[in-house]
């Protein structure tokens, strides 16, 4: 044991050597300084974020080194996020609790484009993809971000930022395949178009295998997708920058649906070849007035269509955003903005689902203002702000926040915040009718009973009062630590009540309506700790732990799911040689409870591991081998609320070659 | 226990092998950039009126994260002739004309051009980290090229600001510029 400790101390002593080296460097002359080998590997272990919020950044390098092939898989690295794969092509992702397939308290932006669907106030993760190689970073902000980002950023914001096209010049070709990732390919080419304009185009495609159902057979959830897109960045003048980008995609989302039915056997299980396609186009103009002041104007249009056996949906979204930042009186930084969104949909139902009206247009107007005040020079900042919006469902909403940031020294940050945020009702919650289950005939009536969720046009917004405190430090030069504690007090959460039973003579069933209401109160609280340790120049550890307590009334258990109480991530990144990477990633996810149509479903906890080995025989050529979910044949992460049978996520292995030219 | 020792030995082995294979001296990037900046302070001549409002200080302004600020702490208070270096955190890009040296880390091009508009009329030596920093209108770029720092200097721009950099420093740099 003693030796073990010595070893540990020896490793810890490493940064002190560097510290001493800083003084040595000052003794060197310029010639020597220019001949010194420089390292910048420990930057990740040292940089502290300056925002007064719980923020975690997933870098390009992190994504590459875990071999993530989709955005949700990369998000598993972040603390405080609950990422659960429902099946091959569906995920449930939430921050700080209330996870669901249609989770609705998280805002997701890709290069500033809101991916949120008014249908359920959430994100269709299977529709959102990017060229993973061109992602610069993903910022994960837990807690309310409503003031800057708007409604529905109740529990968090995910900001996916792709690289500027000047940073993706030249070609990139990547291809590979394996057991779950059966085959994939990606191509990108970036070029300079004139003196001040750079651009890139890309195309990618993949085919993913089905997972395993409860009987140990194929779950029929395989999918494939092709996607292409472009980005253009142009510096119009010294003070103006213009960006255009767009994507198009098409995918087949296979699934096995278990639909309730009013005729015997009251439940139909059948394969469904669903498809989804869509595209978006976005323009953004940024103008700088001075170092203290700039503005941006952004416009995007998004379309998607989704055809499933039980429903189909087409949706157009048009969105306009204006922002202006200006410094005032030496100690204020004011940001204000205006936004407008128009969304129009066409929905078709079937035997279990209908929307009334089937076509609807909705508008959203918003305005926000935020002021960051430097109370004590370089030491204490106060940020206050408010967002006002008007939507067609609940009218006016206000979402204020106040945050304090204290930097007692360069390597310490303490912050605290109080915010109110709202989650506005979705189109589905207002206008849908969905049969969630049919109870087979039994005494005393001997006719089937249909349970039908019913939208409520007078539903109000869910709201939260959130209290947060956080501390960030780089205690010693090679270790950074980030701790956040939060307490969320929710009111008016959506639930469903039992309406009056009536007899439907045309179908010969008793109908039990379950209209939506706003009667649920809940509290969540917890702690999130994350740390980065650059143990050696060539060996880094990333670890995080999240604790989440959810308190809901016993009666509400069947209405909301309870996210895992504990999650743990441990990653080791080793550069065995400059041309050889070896990465191992352990994950522990505590048990959780999903609220399904047939009652609560208990999902046991699990531990799993991913690993990646990569070799670069040439600087521009990389060959890698990735293993995912290695510890078990398959494991259950989540069960969708209805329609989809429990699906066990399989172990997967794939190989990949990528070539830059 | 056995395993622990093994891991420790392995770590030690790997560590020593790594150390011997690498160059005799490796330093963190920002440590080197701070030391180089100190040398620029020593080998650059400012017009006398540049010090009218700064008293005894040679002001080095920094725009960057805590890693940059902490690394440059090592040159704070160092003597340069009869003056001492004062580090100023300028992340809000205010009052940039008070700087004698302005070190800019990772700013978008469009913001950089505004910074240069603010400093152009004053003897402010601007330093950046990327090769295209010069193309955007910066004076000195300290570029990491294959693990070593190279100096790029736009000499005509330096001169037109009324600054003079000693030839002993210039001869180690790559001179780039408009003419």
What pLDDT score was predicted for residue A187? 97
Give a yes or no: residue B47 inside a domain. yes
Considering only CA atoms, which of A399, A505, A506, A518 is closest in space to residue A457? A518
The total of structural domains in chain B comes to: 1
Q: Chain B 37-56, CB below 8 Å of chain A: which residues?
A: 38-39, 43
Suggest the residue from B27, B71, B143 to mutate for an interface test with chain A (most A CBs closer than 10 A): B27
Does B107 reside within a domain?
A: yes
User: If residue A628 lies in a helix (H) or strand (E), which one and from where to where?
Assistant: strand A621-628
Would B10 be classed as within a structural domain?
A: no
Asked whether residue B99 is assigned to any structural domain, the reply reads yes
For residues A393 and A375, give the distance between their C-alpha atoms in angstroms, rounded to a whole number.
39
Instruction: Provide the shortest C-alpha distance from residue B23 to chain A (in Å).
Output: 7
Peptide bond into A357 cis (omega under 30): yes
Is B89 inside any structural domain? yes
Mean pLDDT per 10-residue segment, chain A (661 residues): 42 46 77 83 73 90 93 95 93 90 87 89 91 93 77 85 93 95 95 92 96 91 95 91 96 92 87 94 94 93 94 95 90 92 93 92 92 90 92 89 91 92 90 90 83 91 94 86 95 89 90 90 95 89 95 73 92 93 96 84 93 95 96 92 90 95 93
Q: Are A19 and A42 in contact (CB under 8 A)?
A: no
How far apart are the C-alpha atoms of A341 and A67, rounded to whole Å? 36
d(CA A529, CA B51): 47
Q: Nearest 5°: CA angle at A184, between A183 and A185?
A: 140
Beta carbons within 8 Å of A401's beta carbon, 6+ residues apart = A144, A146, A147, A370, A383, A384, A385, A386, A417, A418, A419, A420
Q: What is the DSSP letter of B162?
A: T
The residue of chain A nearest to residue B78, with distances taken between CA atoms, is A26
Is residue B18 assigned to a domain? Answer: no
Which two three-digit tokens encode residue A159?
Answer: 């900001």
Residue A231 makes CB contacts below 8 A (sequence gap 6+) with A162, A165, A199, A200, A243, A244, A245
Q: What is the dihedral of CA A107, A110, A113, A118, to 10 degrees?
A: -40
Residue of B nearest to A31 (CA): B172
Residues of A in Cβ contact (< 8 Å) with B28:
18, 21-22, 38-40, 42
User: Can you read off the two tokens belonging to residue A187?
Assistant: 């191509």
Residue pair A312/A305 in contact (Cβ under 8 Å)? The answer is: yes
Q: Has residue B21 been placed in a domain?
A: no
Tell me whether residues A288 and B169 touch, CB distance under 8 A: no
Model ipTM over 0.90: no
Query: What is the Cα Rg of chain B in Å?
Result: 19
Tell me: cis bond preceding A72? Omega within 30 of 0 counts.
no
A234 contact B CB<8A: no
Looking at residue B118, which CATH number applies to its domain? 3.40.50
How many angstroms separate the CA atoms of A530 and A570, rounded? 10
Instruction: With a cut of 50, list the residues of chain B below it in pLDDT.
Output: 1, 4-6, 8-24, 179
Q: How far is A533 from chain B (nearest CA, A)?
A: 15
Which positions ≥6 away from A335 have C-beta within 8 Å? A148, A323, A324, A325, A368, A369, A370, A371, A372, A385
Cβ neighbours, 10 Å, residue B118:
19
Hey, what are A189's tokens? 């080419």
Task: Nearest by CB to B172, from A10, A31, A43: name it.
Answer: A31
Q: Determine the residue among B24, B62, B66, B80 to mutate to test chain A binding: the one whose Cβ has the most chain A Cβ atoms within 10 Å.
A: B66
For residue A353, which of A459, A431, A440 has the smallest C-alpha distance? Answer: A431
Contact pairs from chain A to chain B, CB under 8 Å: 164
Q: Is residue B5 part of a domain?
A: no
Range of the domain at B114: 27-176
Answer whether A601's CB lies under 8 Å from A639's CB: yes
Whether A4 has its CB under 8 Å from any CB of chain B: the answer is yes
Q: What is the pTM of this model?
A: 0.88
């Amino acid at each position: 044991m003693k030796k073990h400790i010595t070893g540990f101390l020896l490793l810890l002593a490493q940064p002190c050597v560097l510290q001493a080296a800083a003084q040595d460097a000052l003794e060197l002359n310029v010639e020597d300084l220019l001949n010194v080998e420089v390292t910048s590997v420990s930057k990740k272990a040292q940089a502290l974020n300056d925002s007064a919020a719980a923020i975690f950044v997933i870098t390009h390098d992190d994504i590459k080194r875990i071999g993530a092939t989709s955005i949700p898989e990369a998000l598993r690295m972040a603390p405080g996020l609950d990422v659960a794969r429902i099946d091959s092509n569906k995920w449930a992702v939430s921050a700080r609790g209330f996870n669901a397939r249609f989770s609705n308290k998280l805002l997701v932006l890709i290069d500033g484009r809101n991916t949120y669907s008014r249908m359920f106030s959430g994100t269709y993760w299977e529709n959102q993809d990017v060229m993973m190689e061109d992602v610069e970073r993903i910022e994960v902000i837990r807690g309310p971000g409503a003031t800057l980002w708007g409604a529905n950023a109740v529990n968090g914001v995910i900001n996916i930022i792709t690289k500027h096209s000047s940073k993706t010049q030249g070609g990139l070709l990547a291809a590979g395949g394996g057991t779950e990732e059966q085959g994939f390919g990606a191509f990108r080419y970036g070029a300079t178009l004139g003196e001040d304009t750079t651009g890139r185009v890309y195309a990618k495609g993949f085919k993913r295998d089905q997972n395993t159902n409860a009987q140990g057979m194929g779950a029929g959830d395989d999918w494939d997708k092709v996607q292409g897109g472009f980005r253009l960045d142009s510096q119009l003048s010294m003070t103006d920058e213009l960006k255009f980008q767009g994507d198009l995609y098409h995918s087949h989302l296979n699934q096995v649906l278990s639909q309730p039915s009013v005729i015997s056997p009251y439940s139909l299980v059948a394969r469904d070849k669903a498809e989804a396609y869509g595209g978006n186009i976005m323009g953004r103009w940024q103008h700088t007035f001075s170092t203290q002041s700039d503005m941006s104007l952004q416009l995007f249009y998004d379309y998607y269509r989704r055809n499933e056996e039980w429903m189909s949906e087409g949706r157009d979204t048009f969105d306009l955003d204006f922002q202006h930042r200006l410094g005032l009186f030496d100690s204020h930084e004011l940001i204000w903005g205006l936004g407008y969104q128009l969304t129009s949909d066409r929905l078709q139902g079937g035997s279990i689902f209908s929307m009334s009206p089937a076509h609807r247009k909705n508008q959203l107007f918003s305005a926000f203002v935020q002021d960051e005040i430097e109370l004590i020079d370089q030491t204490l900042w106060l940020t206050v702000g408010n967002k006002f919006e008007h939507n067609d469902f609940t009218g006016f909403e206000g979402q204020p926040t106040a945050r304090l940031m204290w930097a007692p020294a360069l390597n310490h940050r303490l912050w605290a915040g109080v915010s109110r945020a709202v989650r506005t009702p979705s189109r589905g919650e207002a206008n849908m009718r969905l049969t969630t289950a049919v109870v087979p005939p039994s005494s005393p009536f001997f006719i089937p009973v249909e349970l039908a969720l019913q939208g409520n046009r007078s539903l109000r917004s869910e709201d939260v009062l959130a209290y947060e405190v956080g501390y960030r430090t780089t205690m010693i030069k090679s270790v950074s630590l980030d701790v956040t504690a939060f307490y969320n007090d929710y009111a008016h959460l959506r639930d469903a009540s039992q309406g009056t039973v009536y007899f439907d003579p045309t179908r010969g069933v008793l109908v039990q309506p379950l209209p939506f209401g706003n009667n649920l109160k809940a509290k969540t609280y917890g702690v999130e700790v994350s740390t980065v340790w650059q143990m050696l120049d060539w060996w880094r550890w990333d670890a995080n732990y999240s604790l989440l307590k959810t308190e809901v009334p016993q009666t509400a258990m069947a209405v909301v799911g309870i996210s895992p109480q504990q999650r743990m991530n441990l990653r080791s990144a080793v550069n065995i040689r400059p041309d050889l990477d070896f990465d191992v990633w352990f994950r522990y996810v505590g048990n959780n409870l999903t609220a399904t149509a047939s009652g609560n479903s208990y999902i046991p906890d699990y531990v799993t591991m991913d690993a990646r080995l990569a070799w670069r025989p040439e600087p521009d050529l990389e060959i890698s081998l990735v293993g995912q979910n290695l510890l078990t044949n398959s494991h259950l992460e989540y069960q969708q609320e209805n329609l989809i049978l429990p699906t066990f996520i399989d172990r997967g292995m794939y190989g990949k070659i990528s070539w830059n030219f | 226990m056995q395993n622990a020792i093994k891991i420790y030995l392995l770590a030690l082995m790997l560590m020593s092998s790594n150390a011997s294979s690498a160059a005799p001296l490796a330093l963190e990037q920002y440590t080197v950039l701070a030391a180089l900046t100190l040398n620029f302070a020593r080998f650059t001549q400012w017009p006398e009126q540049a010090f009218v409002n700064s008293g005894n200080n040679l002001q080095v302004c920094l725009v960057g994260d805590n890693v940059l600020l902490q690394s440059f702490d090592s040159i704070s208070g160092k003597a340069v002739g009869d003056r001492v270096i004062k580090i100023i955190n300028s992340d809000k890009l205010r009052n940039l004309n008070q700087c004698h040296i302005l070190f800019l880390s990772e700013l978008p091009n469009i913001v950089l051009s505004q910074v240069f508009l603010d400093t152009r009329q004053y003897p402010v030596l601007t330093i950046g980290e990327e090769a295209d920093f010069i193309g955007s209108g910066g004076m000195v770029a300290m570029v990491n090229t294959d693990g070593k720092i190279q100096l790029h200097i736009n000499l005509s721009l330096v001169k037109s600001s009324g600054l003079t950099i000693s030839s002993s420093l210039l001869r180690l740099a790559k001179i780039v510029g408009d003419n």
